Amino acid sequence: MRYATKQRKRLLEILESHSDETLTVEQLAFFACPEPISRSAIYRNLSELEAEGLVKRITLPLPQKTGFRYVGANECRKHLHLECEKCGKTFHLALPASNELIDNVMRDAGFEVDRKTTVLSGVCSDCRKN
């Protein structure tokens, strides 16, 4: 039986408040202040959250690091995700576009897409301007 520790609750609060971002362990530790969470507790809880399907592990571009994105939010269950390769922000693809893309993939390839874990990578409009 898993206990809902204070550190786990705090980590979930941080992940939920940054659900549009992919965060590294270092960033999670920083956001935990002034109530610090030990790195070992962060890693342990992230591993458990990943096994529960609430967090997705993502390899970030240069410098290559591991990031984690919270996918347990209700709004994440319906949308596909767009992740900017430059700034790292994650966006929800509008529902009509998500539904249309998923329907087309199912119709054309017979492939069922998992909405909450699917991420399309590219460059966001803000980064393209710069």
Q: Note whether 46 and 82 are same-domain residues.
A: no
Q: Note whether 48 and 107 are same-domain residues.
A: no
Q: Note whether 67 and 111 are same-domain residues.
A: no
Q: Dihedral through CA 14, CA 56, CA 89, CA 76, nearest 10?
A: -80
Apex 15 CA angle, 103 and 41, nearest 5? 125
Q: Exposed, middle or buried by CB within 10 Å (0-12, 13-18, 19+), for 46?
A: buried
* Distance linking the first and last C-alpha atoms of the chain: 49
Residue where the block lists tokens 């997705």:
56
Read off the pLDDT of residues 87-103 as tens digits, 9 standing for 90 and up.
777 888 888 998 999 99
Q: Note whether 26 and 67 are same-domain residues.
A: yes
Q: Dihedral through CA 86, CA 55, CA 101, CA 104, nearest 10?
A: 130
The low-confidence residues of the chain, meaning pLDDT below 50, are: 1
Domain of residue 20 covers 1-72
pLDDT of 72 reads: 74
**pTM for the model:** 0.68
